A and B are shown apart, each in its own frame.
Chain A
Amino acid sequence: MVKFEAIFEISIKYLRPHDKENVDFEELALFSLGLDDLGVRIYKYLKEKRIVTIEEILSTLQVDENEIINRLDYMYSLGIIDHLGRGYIYRYPLHEAIRRKVVKRIEELLERIARLAEGRTNE
Protein backbone atom coordinates (compact mmCIF):
# COMPACT_ATOMS: atom_id res chain seq x y z
CA MET A 1 0.00 0.00 0.00
CA VAL A 2 1.15 3.52 -0.80
CA LYS A 3 2.34 5.40 2.25
CA PHE A 4 3.98 8.38 0.60
CA GLU A 5 2.53 11.85 0.75
CA ALA A 6 2.22 13.70 -2.56
CA ILE A 7 2.77 17.45 -2.52
CA PHE A 8 2.16 18.02 -6.22
CA GLU A 9 1.33 15.87 -9.20
CA ILE A 10 1.90 16.69 -12.86
CA SER A 11 0.37 14.76 -15.71
CA ILE A 12 1.80 14.96 -19.24
CA LYS A 13 -0.13 13.27 -22.01
CA TYR A 14 0.67 12.33 -25.55
CA LEU A 15 -2.71 12.87 -27.26
CA ARG A 16 -4.16 12.15 -30.66
CA PRO A 17 -7.25 14.04 -31.89
CA HIS A 18 -10.19 11.87 -33.01
CA ASP A 19 -11.20 14.35 -35.70
CA LYS A 20 -8.08 15.51 -37.46
CA GLU A 21 -9.92 18.17 -39.48
CA ASN A 22 -11.40 20.14 -36.58
CA VAL A 23 -8.77 20.34 -33.90
CA ASP A 24 -8.63 23.10 -31.31
CA PHE A 25 -4.84 23.12 -31.01
CA GLU A 26 -4.81 25.34 -27.94
CA GLU A 27 -7.00 22.81 -26.13
CA LEU A 28 -4.82 19.98 -27.42
CA ALA A 29 -1.77 21.65 -25.86
CA LEU A 30 -3.54 22.39 -22.58
CA PHE A 31 -5.01 18.88 -22.22
CA SER A 32 -1.54 17.49 -23.01
CA LEU A 33 -0.26 19.43 -20.00
CA GLY A 34 -2.78 17.68 -17.78
CA LEU A 35 -5.50 20.35 -17.61
CA ASP A 36 -9.12 19.21 -17.61
CA ASP A 37 -12.13 20.96 -19.19
CA LEU A 38 -12.52 23.41 -16.29
CA GLY A 39 -8.79 24.11 -16.28
CA VAL A 40 -8.92 24.91 -20.00
CA ARG A 41 -11.89 27.26 -19.47
CA ILE A 42 -10.07 29.07 -16.66
CA TYR A 43 -6.85 29.34 -18.70
CA LYS A 44 -8.70 30.79 -21.69
CA TYR A 45 -10.52 33.30 -19.47
CA LEU A 46 -7.23 34.35 -17.86
CA LYS A 47 -5.57 34.65 -21.27
CA GLU A 48 -8.34 36.97 -22.40
CA LYS A 49 -8.23 39.16 -19.27
CA ARG A 50 -4.44 38.90 -18.66
CA ILE A 51 -4.89 39.29 -14.88
CA VAL A 52 -7.81 38.02 -12.78
CA THR A 53 -8.76 37.30 -9.18
CA ILE A 54 -10.57 34.19 -7.98
CA GLU A 55 -13.69 36.31 -7.36
CA GLU A 56 -13.77 37.42 -10.99
CA ILE A 57 -13.45 33.82 -12.22
CA LEU A 58 -16.15 32.78 -9.77
CA SER A 59 -18.62 35.38 -11.01
CA THR A 60 -17.96 34.50 -14.64
CA LEU A 61 -17.68 30.72 -14.62
CA GLN A 62 -19.93 30.05 -11.61
CA VAL A 63 -18.25 26.90 -10.32
CA ASP A 64 -17.08 25.83 -6.88
CA GLU A 65 -14.33 28.05 -5.48
CA ASN A 66 -12.11 25.12 -4.44
CA GLU A 67 -12.32 23.66 -7.93
CA ILE A 68 -11.08 26.96 -9.32
CA ILE A 69 -8.28 27.23 -6.75
CA ASN A 70 -7.13 23.65 -7.52
CA ARG A 71 -6.86 24.41 -11.25
CA LEU A 72 -5.09 27.73 -10.72
CA ASP A 73 -2.64 26.10 -8.29
CA TYR A 74 -1.94 23.34 -10.82
CA MET A 75 -1.29 25.85 -13.62
CA TYR A 76 0.91 27.98 -11.37
CA SER A 77 2.90 24.97 -10.10
CA LEU A 78 3.33 23.78 -13.69
CA GLY A 79 4.61 27.24 -14.64
CA ILE A 80 2.13 28.32 -17.29
CA ILE A 81 0.67 31.20 -15.24
CA ASP A 82 1.95 33.55 -12.55
CA HIS A 83 0.47 34.40 -9.18
CA LEU A 84 0.97 37.62 -7.29
CA GLY A 85 -1.12 38.63 -4.26
CA ARG A 86 -4.76 38.04 -5.19
CA GLY A 87 -4.06 38.13 -8.89
CA TYR A 88 -3.40 35.31 -11.32
CA ILE A 89 -1.44 36.53 -14.31
CA TYR A 90 -1.08 35.42 -17.92
CA ARG A 91 2.51 36.55 -18.45
CA TYR A 92 3.80 34.50 -21.37
CA PRO A 93 2.11 32.83 -24.32
CA LEU A 94 1.74 29.09 -23.66
CA HIS A 95 4.62 27.98 -25.92
CA GLU A 96 6.96 30.43 -24.22
CA ALA A 97 5.85 29.35 -20.73
CA ILE A 98 6.45 25.69 -21.64
CA ARG A 99 9.96 26.40 -22.92
CA ARG A 100 10.88 28.87 -20.16
CA LYS A 101 9.32 27.20 -17.13
CA VAL A 102 7.51 23.88 -17.54
CA VAL A 103 10.48 22.02 -19.05
CA LYS A 104 12.79 23.34 -16.34
CA ARG A 105 10.36 22.52 -13.56
CA ILE A 106 9.76 18.94 -14.69
CA GLU A 107 13.45 18.38 -15.31
CA GLU A 108 14.23 19.56 -11.77
CA LEU A 109 11.55 17.28 -10.37
CA LEU A 110 12.88 14.25 -12.25
CA GLU A 111 16.47 15.09 -11.34
CA ARG A 112 15.44 15.15 -7.66
CA ILE A 113 13.89 11.69 -8.06
CA ALA A 114 17.01 10.46 -9.89
CA ARG A 115 19.27 11.82 -7.16
CA LEU A 116 17.30 10.02 -4.49
CA ALA A 117 17.32 6.80 -6.51
CA GLU A 118 21.05 7.19 -7.08
CA GLY A 119 21.81 7.56 -3.42
CA ARG A 120 20.97 3.94 -2.75
CA THR A 121 20.57 2.16 -6.06
CA ASN A 122 24.05 2.69 -7.56
CA GLU A 123 25.20 -0.82 -6.88
Chain B
Amino acid sequence: MSDEFEIIAEWVIRKLKDIDLSSADLTEIIRWVLYSLGVKDLGIDIYLYLRSVGRATSTEIAEKFKISPTTARRYLEQLHTLGLVDYIGREYHLTRKNIASCIRDILIPRIKSILEDIAKVAESVYKEERIEKTMLSKEDIDRLVLAPVRREIDKTLREAKHEALREIKKLFSTAGEIGPEIISNTLSRIFDALSESLRKLGERAYNIGILKIEPTPQVRGLSIVETPDLIKYTVYSDYRLQAHQLRYAKEKGKRVIIRVFGTLYIDKDVTSDLADIIEEIYVYGEVIGPREILKFLSDRIRGPGSVQYY
Protein backbone atom coordinates (compact mmCIF):
# COMPACT_ATOMS: atom_id res chain seq x y z
CA MET B 1 0.00 0.00 0.00
CA SER B 2 2.82 2.42 0.88
CA ASP B 3 3.95 2.43 -2.75
CA GLU B 4 0.62 3.50 -4.12
CA PHE B 5 -0.92 5.75 -1.49
CA GLU B 6 0.26 8.45 0.87
CA ILE B 7 -1.40 8.80 4.27
CA ILE B 8 -2.63 12.37 4.78
CA ALA B 9 -4.48 11.71 8.05
CA GLU B 10 -5.30 8.69 10.15
CA TRP B 11 -7.77 7.97 12.92
CA VAL B 12 -7.45 4.93 15.18
CA ILE B 13 -10.50 4.10 17.25
CA ARG B 14 -10.21 1.42 19.91
CA LYS B 15 -12.88 -0.41 21.77
CA LEU B 16 -11.34 -0.82 25.26
CA LYS B 17 -12.56 -2.73 28.24
CA ASP B 18 -14.54 -0.37 30.47
CA ILE B 19 -12.83 1.20 33.46
CA ASP B 20 -14.39 1.38 36.88
CA LEU B 21 -15.73 4.92 36.97
CA SER B 22 -16.34 4.82 40.71
CA SER B 23 -12.64 4.42 41.48
CA ALA B 24 -11.01 6.17 38.49
CA ASP B 25 -9.82 9.78 38.80
CA LEU B 26 -10.19 12.42 36.04
CA THR B 27 -6.67 11.86 34.66
CA GLU B 28 -7.25 8.13 34.36
CA ILE B 29 -10.56 8.70 32.54
CA ILE B 30 -8.89 11.13 30.14
CA ARG B 31 -6.14 8.60 29.52
CA TRP B 32 -8.77 5.93 28.79
CA VAL B 33 -10.63 8.25 26.42
CA LEU B 34 -7.52 9.40 24.56
CA TYR B 35 -6.16 5.88 24.28
CA SER B 36 -9.57 4.86 22.86
CA LEU B 37 -9.00 7.54 20.22
CA GLY B 38 -5.63 6.08 19.29
CA VAL B 39 -3.43 8.56 21.19
CA LYS B 40 -0.25 7.05 22.63
CA ASP B 41 1.33 7.79 26.05
CA LEU B 42 3.34 10.89 25.10
CA GLY B 43 0.41 12.29 23.12
CA ILE B 44 -1.79 11.84 26.19
CA ASP B 45 0.80 13.59 28.39
CA ILE B 46 0.99 16.52 25.95
CA TYR B 47 -2.82 16.79 25.98
CA LEU B 48 -2.88 16.78 29.80
CA TYR B 49 -0.10 19.42 29.90
CA LEU B 50 -2.02 21.71 27.49
CA ARG B 51 -5.11 21.17 29.60
CA SER B 52 -3.26 22.34 32.72
CA VAL B 53 -1.40 25.36 31.22
CA GLY B 54 -4.11 26.51 28.78
CA ARG B 55 -1.83 27.22 25.79
CA ALA B 56 1.75 26.46 24.67
CA THR B 57 3.92 26.60 21.55
CA SER B 58 5.31 23.44 19.98
CA THR B 59 8.81 24.57 21.06
CA GLU B 60 7.70 24.89 24.69
CA ILE B 61 6.10 21.47 24.53
CA ALA B 62 9.25 19.99 22.96
CA GLU B 63 11.38 21.49 25.76
CA LYS B 64 9.01 20.32 28.46
CA PHE B 65 9.00 16.70 27.23
CA LYS B 66 12.61 16.69 25.97
CA ILE B 67 11.65 15.78 22.42
CA SER B 68 12.35 17.46 19.07
CA PRO B 69 9.89 20.16 17.89
CA THR B 70 9.13 17.88 14.91
CA THR B 71 8.09 15.03 17.21
CA ALA B 72 6.05 17.46 19.33
CA ARG B 73 4.28 18.73 16.21
CA ARG B 74 3.51 15.15 15.14
CA TYR B 75 1.66 14.48 18.41
CA LEU B 76 -0.06 17.86 18.26
CA GLU B 77 -1.15 17.14 14.68
CA GLN B 78 -2.79 13.90 15.83
CA LEU B 79 -4.66 15.72 18.60
CA HIS B 80 -5.67 18.36 16.05
CA THR B 81 -6.92 15.69 13.61
CA LEU B 82 -9.10 14.31 16.42
CA GLY B 83 -10.54 17.79 16.98
CA LEU B 84 -9.20 17.98 20.55
CA VAL B 85 -6.59 20.66 19.96
CA ASP B 86 -6.48 23.79 17.79
CA TYR B 87 -3.78 26.37 17.13
CA ILE B 88 -3.17 29.96 16.16
CA GLY B 89 0.24 30.47 14.59
CA ARG B 90 2.66 28.35 16.66
CA GLU B 91 0.55 28.35 19.80
CA TYR B 92 -1.66 25.38 20.62
CA HIS B 93 -4.71 25.21 22.90
CA LEU B 94 -7.55 22.79 23.63
CA THR B 95 -10.47 23.19 21.22
CA ARG B 96 -12.83 22.67 24.14
CA LYS B 97 -12.17 21.40 27.65
CA ASN B 98 -15.16 19.10 27.34
CA ILE B 99 -13.82 16.07 25.42
CA ALA B 100 -17.30 14.60 24.91
CA SER B 101 -18.44 17.68 23.01
CA CYS B 102 -15.24 17.58 20.89
CA ILE B 103 -16.06 13.97 19.97
CA ARG B 104 -19.72 14.70 19.20
CA ASP B 105 -19.37 18.05 17.46
CA ILE B 106 -16.04 17.69 15.67
CA LEU B 107 -14.76 14.13 15.50
CA ILE B 108 -17.97 12.23 14.64
CA PRO B 109 -18.98 14.61 11.78
CA ARG B 110 -15.38 14.54 10.48
CA ILE B 111 -15.19 10.72 10.46
CA LYS B 112 -18.66 10.48 8.90
CA SER B 113 -17.60 12.84 6.15
CA ILE B 114 -14.43 10.80 5.48
CA LEU B 115 -16.47 7.57 5.41
CA GLU B 116 -18.93 9.12 2.94
CA ASP B 117 -15.97 10.05 0.72
CA ILE B 118 -14.73 6.44 0.91
CA ALA B 119 -18.26 5.19 0.13
CA LYS B 120 -18.38 7.44 -2.94
CA VAL B 121 -15.07 6.04 -4.18
CA ALA B 122 -16.38 2.48 -3.65
CA GLU B 123 -19.65 3.38 -5.38
CA SER B 124 -17.81 4.61 -8.47
CA VAL B 125 -16.07 1.21 -8.69
CA TYR B 126 -19.40 -0.59 -8.27
CA LYS B 127 -21.03 1.48 -11.05
CA GLU B 128 -18.13 0.87 -13.42
CA GLU B 129 -18.28 -2.87 -12.76
CA ARG B 130 -22.02 -2.86 -13.46
CA ILE B 131 -21.51 -1.07 -16.76
CA GLU B 132 -18.78 -3.55 -17.72
CA LYS B 133 -21.07 -6.44 -16.85
CA THR B 134 -23.94 -5.11 -18.98
CA MET B 135 -21.75 -4.20 -21.95
CA LEU B 136 -21.55 -6.87 -24.64
CA SER B 137 -18.51 -7.57 -26.73
CA LYS B 138 -18.60 -7.21 -30.52
CA GLU B 139 -18.62 -11.02 -30.79
CA ASP B 140 -21.60 -11.27 -28.39
CA ILE B 141 -23.57 -8.68 -30.37
CA ASP B 142 -22.86 -10.59 -33.55
CA ARG B 143 -23.77 -13.95 -31.99
CA LEU B 144 -26.83 -12.85 -30.02
CA VAL B 145 -28.32 -10.18 -32.28
CA LEU B 146 -27.00 -9.91 -35.77
CA ALA B 147 -26.57 -13.57 -36.73
CA PRO B 148 -30.16 -14.67 -35.86
CA VAL B 149 -31.61 -11.61 -37.59
CA ARG B 150 -29.44 -12.17 -40.67
CA ARG B 151 -30.79 -15.74 -40.80
CA GLU B 152 -34.34 -14.44 -40.35
CA ILE B 153 -34.01 -11.85 -43.14
CA ASP B 154 -32.44 -14.40 -45.51
CA LYS B 155 -35.25 -16.85 -44.83
CA THR B 156 -37.94 -14.17 -45.27
CA LEU B 157 -36.48 -12.94 -48.55
CA ARG B 158 -36.16 -16.49 -49.85
CA GLU B 159 -39.79 -17.24 -49.04
CA ALA B 160 -41.00 -13.94 -50.51
CA LYS B 161 -39.03 -14.57 -53.69
CA HIS B 162 -40.47 -18.09 -54.05
CA GLU B 163 -43.97 -16.81 -53.42
CA ALA B 164 -43.57 -14.01 -55.99
CA LEU B 165 -42.26 -16.49 -58.58
CA ARG B 166 -45.15 -18.87 -57.82
CA GLU B 167 -47.68 -16.04 -58.33
CA ILE B 168 -46.07 -14.93 -61.61
CA LYS B 169 -45.93 -18.53 -62.88
CA LYS B 170 -49.59 -19.00 -61.96
CA LEU B 171 -50.56 -15.81 -63.80
CA PHE B 172 -48.71 -16.80 -66.92
CA SER B 173 -50.18 -20.30 -66.87
CA THR B 174 -53.74 -18.87 -66.64
CA ALA B 175 -52.89 -16.17 -69.23
CA GLY B 176 -53.95 -13.48 -66.76
CA GLU B 177 -52.87 -9.90 -66.95
CA ILE B 178 -50.04 -8.73 -64.67
CA GLY B 179 -51.24 -5.31 -63.58
CA PRO B 180 -50.09 -2.84 -60.90
CA GLU B 181 -52.37 -4.49 -58.33
CA ILE B 182 -50.62 -7.88 -58.66
CA ILE B 183 -47.16 -6.31 -58.48
CA SER B 184 -48.25 -4.16 -55.55
CA ASN B 185 -49.57 -7.18 -53.63
CA THR B 186 -46.36 -9.11 -54.20
CA LEU B 187 -44.20 -6.15 -53.18
CA SER B 188 -46.27 -5.48 -50.09
CA ARG B 189 -45.64 -9.05 -48.89
CA ILE B 190 -41.88 -8.55 -49.23
CA PHE B 191 -41.96 -5.18 -47.50
CA ASP B 192 -44.09 -6.51 -44.64
CA ALA B 193 -41.71 -9.43 -44.16
CA LEU B 194 -38.70 -7.10 -44.13
CA SER B 195 -40.41 -4.74 -41.74
CA GLU B 196 -41.19 -7.65 -39.37
CA SER B 197 -37.54 -8.79 -39.47
CA LEU B 198 -36.30 -5.28 -38.69
CA ARG B 199 -38.78 -4.99 -35.82
CA LYS B 200 -37.44 -8.25 -34.39
CA LEU B 201 -33.89 -6.88 -34.67
CA GLY B 202 -34.92 -3.74 -32.77
CA GLU B 203 -36.71 -5.76 -30.10
CA ARG B 204 -33.74 -8.07 -29.59
CA ALA B 205 -31.30 -5.14 -29.41
CA TYR B 206 -33.55 -3.44 -26.84
CA ASN B 207 -33.92 -6.58 -24.71
CA ILE B 208 -30.17 -7.02 -24.27
CA GLY B 209 -29.59 -3.33 -23.65
CA ILE B 210 -27.92 -2.19 -26.89
CA LEU B 211 -30.87 0.01 -27.81
CA LYS B 212 -31.98 2.37 -25.04
CA ILE B 213 -35.27 3.38 -26.68
CA GLU B 214 -38.05 0.83 -26.77
CA PRO B 215 -38.95 0.05 -30.40
CA THR B 216 -42.41 1.28 -31.41
CA PRO B 217 -44.93 -1.36 -32.45
CA GLN B 218 -44.68 -2.32 -36.07
CA VAL B 219 -46.80 -0.39 -38.58
CA ARG B 220 -47.03 -2.83 -41.41
CA GLY B 221 -46.08 -1.63 -44.86
CA LEU B 222 -45.78 2.04 -44.07
CA SER B 223 -43.00 4.60 -43.94
CA ILE B 224 -43.54 8.14 -42.67
CA VAL B 225 -40.88 10.78 -43.20
CA GLU B 226 -41.47 14.17 -41.60
CA THR B 227 -39.45 17.25 -42.58
CA PRO B 228 -39.97 20.88 -41.44
CA ASP B 229 -42.50 21.56 -44.25
CA LEU B 230 -43.57 18.13 -45.46
CA ILE B 231 -44.91 14.75 -44.31
CA LYS B 232 -44.32 11.97 -46.81
CA TYR B 233 -46.25 8.70 -46.49
CA THR B 234 -45.14 5.65 -48.47
CA VAL B 235 -47.74 2.90 -48.29
CA TYR B 236 -46.40 -0.55 -49.18
CA SER B 237 -49.37 -2.69 -48.14
CA ASP B 238 -52.73 -1.78 -46.54
CA TYR B 239 -53.00 1.51 -44.70
CA ARG B 240 -55.87 3.65 -43.41
CA LEU B 241 -55.35 7.42 -43.54
CA GLN B 242 -57.31 9.13 -40.77
CA ALA B 243 -58.56 12.68 -40.25
CA HIS B 244 -56.34 13.28 -37.19
CA GLN B 245 -53.21 12.69 -39.27
CA LEU B 246 -54.20 15.37 -41.75
CA ARG B 247 -55.30 17.65 -38.88
CA TYR B 248 -51.84 17.26 -37.34
CA ALA B 249 -50.17 18.19 -40.66
CA LYS B 250 -52.48 21.17 -41.03
CA GLU B 251 -51.76 22.45 -37.52
CA LYS B 252 -48.02 22.17 -38.18
CA GLY B 253 -48.42 23.90 -41.57
CA LYS B 254 -46.97 20.92 -43.42
CA ARG B 255 -47.90 19.59 -46.86
CA VAL B 256 -48.63 15.88 -47.36
CA ILE B 257 -47.37 13.68 -50.20
CA ILE B 258 -48.46 10.04 -50.44
CA ARG B 259 -46.97 7.24 -52.52
CA VAL B 260 -49.16 4.16 -52.66
CA PHE B 261 -47.70 0.79 -53.67
CA GLY B 262 -50.28 -1.23 -51.76
CA THR B 263 -53.80 -0.10 -50.83
CA LEU B 264 -54.58 3.23 -49.21
CA TYR B 265 -57.95 3.65 -47.49
CA ILE B 266 -59.03 7.21 -46.82
CA ASP B 267 -61.31 7.37 -43.79
CA LYS B 268 -64.88 8.65 -44.09
CA ASP B 269 -64.25 11.39 -41.52
CA VAL B 270 -61.66 13.10 -43.76
CA THR B 271 -63.19 16.37 -44.94
CA SER B 272 -62.23 18.25 -48.12
CA ASP B 273 -60.94 21.04 -45.89
CA LEU B 274 -58.43 18.58 -44.37
CA ALA B 275 -57.74 16.78 -47.66
CA ASP B 276 -56.75 20.13 -49.16
CA ILE B 277 -53.29 19.90 -47.55
CA ILE B 278 -52.53 16.75 -49.61
CA GLU B 279 -50.26 17.93 -52.40
CA GLU B 280 -50.09 14.68 -54.33
CA ILE B 281 -51.12 11.03 -54.17
CA TYR B 282 -49.12 8.86 -56.56
CA VAL B 283 -50.81 5.50 -56.99
CA TYR B 284 -49.11 2.30 -58.15
CA GLY B 285 -51.53 0.06 -56.26
CA GLU B 286 -54.98 1.37 -55.33
CA VAL B 287 -56.70 4.14 -53.39
CA ILE B 288 -60.13 3.60 -51.85
CA GLY B 289 -62.00 6.48 -50.25
CA PRO B 290 -65.15 8.67 -50.10
CA ARG B 291 -66.26 9.75 -53.57
CA GLU B 292 -66.45 13.48 -52.78
CA ILE B 293 -62.92 13.51 -51.34
CA LEU B 294 -61.37 11.59 -54.21
CA LYS B 295 -63.21 13.81 -56.70
CA PHE B 296 -61.91 16.84 -54.81
CA LEU B 297 -58.37 15.43 -55.07
CA SER B 298 -58.71 14.10 -58.63
CA ASP B 299 -56.19 16.54 -60.15
CA ARG B 300 -53.65 15.56 -57.49
CA ILE B 301 -54.01 11.79 -57.91
CA ARG B 302 -51.49 10.44 -60.39
CA GLY B 303 -49.93 7.11 -61.42
CA PRO B 304 -50.97 3.84 -63.09
CA GLY B 305 -52.91 2.43 -60.10
CA SER B 306 -56.66 2.29 -59.58
CA VAL B 307 -59.04 4.57 -57.65
CA GLN B 308 -62.17 3.20 -56.02
CA TYR B 309 -64.97 4.86 -54.07
CA TYR B 310 -66.77 3.76 -50.90
Q: Which chain B residues (193-245) contact chain A, with CB distance < 8 Å?
A: none
14 A-B contacts, Cβ less than 8 Å apart? A7-B16, A12-B111, A14-B8, A33-B118, A93-B123, A95-B126, A99-B119, A103-B116, A107-B112, A110-B103, A113-B36, A113-B37, A116-B29, A119-B21
**Residue ranges of B at the interface with A (Cβ–Cβ < 8 Å):** 1, 3-19, 21, 24, 26, 29-33, 35-38, 40-41, 97-100, 103-104, 107-108, 111-112, 114-116, 118-126
Q: Please determine whether B6 and A16 come into contact, CB atoms closer than 8 angstroms.
A: yes
Complex interface: stretch among A17-25, A52-60, A61-69, A83-91: A17-25
Taking the nearest CB of chain B, how far is it from the CB of A7, in angstroms? Answer: 5
Q: Please determine whether A11 and B19 come into contact, CB atoms closer than 8 angstroms.
A: no
Q: Please determine whether A28 and B35 come into contact, CB atoms closer than 8 angstroms.
A: no
Residue of A whose beta carbon sits closest to that of B21: A119
Q: Please determine whether B29 and A16 come into contact, CB atoms closer than 8 angstroms.
A: no
The digit string for A80-122, where 1 denotes a CB below 8 A from any CB of B, is 0000000000000111001100110011011111111111111
Q: Please determine whether B118 and A116 come into contact, CB atoms closer than 8 angstroms.
A: no
Residues of B within 8 A of A36 (CB): 1
Taking the nearest CB of chain B, how far is it from the CB of A111, in angstroms? Answer: 8
Number of A-B contacts (CB under 8 A): 173
Q: Please determine whether A16 and B8 come into contact, CB atoms closer than 8 angstroms.
A: yes
Residues of A within 8 A of B29 (CB): 116-117, 119-121
Partner of B122, one of A4, A11, A26, A110: A26
Partner of A12, one of B1, B6, B11, B41: B11
**Given A10-B14, A11-B12, A15-B8, list of 16 further CB < 8 A pairs?**
A12-B114, A14-B9, A16-B5, A17-B6, A25-B121, A26-B122, A94-B122, A98-B118, A109-B13, A113-B13, A113-B33, A113-B36, A117-B99, A120-B21, A122-B98, A122-B100
Q: Please determine whether B5 and A17 come into contact, CB atoms closer than 8 angstroms.
A: yes
Taking the nearest CB of chain B, how far is it from the CB of A113, in angstroms? Answer: 5
- CA of A94 to CA of B34, assembled, Å: 29
Q: Please determine whether A2 and B123 come into contact, CB atoms closer than 8 angstroms.
A: no
- CA of A36 to CA of B99, assembled, Å: 31
With contact pairs A110-B103, A113-B103, A122-B100 given, residues A94 and B125 touching in the complex (Cβ less than 8 Å): yes
Residues of B within 8 A of A13 (CB): 7-11
Partner of B123, one of A7, A19, A95, A123: A95
Q: Please determine whether B100 and A114 come into contact, CB atoms closer than 8 angstroms.
A: yes
Size range of the chain A interface in the assembly: 35 or more
Q: Please determine whether B32 and A4 come into contact, CB atoms closer than 8 angstroms.
A: yes
> Nearest 7 CB-CB pairs, A to B?
A118-B100, A95-B123, A94-B122, A95-B122, A114-B103, A98-B119, A14-B9
Q: Please determine whether A5 and B121 come into contact, CB atoms closer than 8 angstroms.
A: no
Q: Please determine whether B8 and A6 come into contact, CB atoms closer than 8 angstroms.
A: no
- CA of A96 to CA of B42, assembled, Å: 38
Residues of A within 8 A of B32 (CB): 4, 116
Residue of B whose beta carbon sits closest to that of A24: B4
Q: Please determine whether B122 and A103 come into contact, CB atoms closer than 8 angstroms.
A: no
Q: Please determine whether B35 and A4 come into contact, CB atoms closer than 8 angstroms.
A: yes
Partner of B4, one of A4, A18, A114: A18
- CA of A106 to CA of B116, assembled, Å: 13
Q: Please determine whether A121 and B121 come into contact, CB atoms closer than 8 angstroms.
A: no
- CA of A23 to CA of B4, assembled, Å: 8
- CA of A116 to CA of B21, assembled, Å: 8
Q: Please determine whether B7 and A6 come into contact, CB atoms closer than 8 angstroms.
A: no
Partner of A29, one of B98, B108, B122: B122
Residue of B whose beta carbon sits closest to that of A16: B6
Q: Please determine whether A1 and B103 come into contact, CB atoms closer than 8 angstroms.
A: no
Residues of A within 8 A of B6 (CB): 15-18
Among A19, A23, A93, A115, the most chain B Cβ lie within 10 Å of the Cβ of: A93
Partner of B3, one of A2, A18, A28, A115: A18
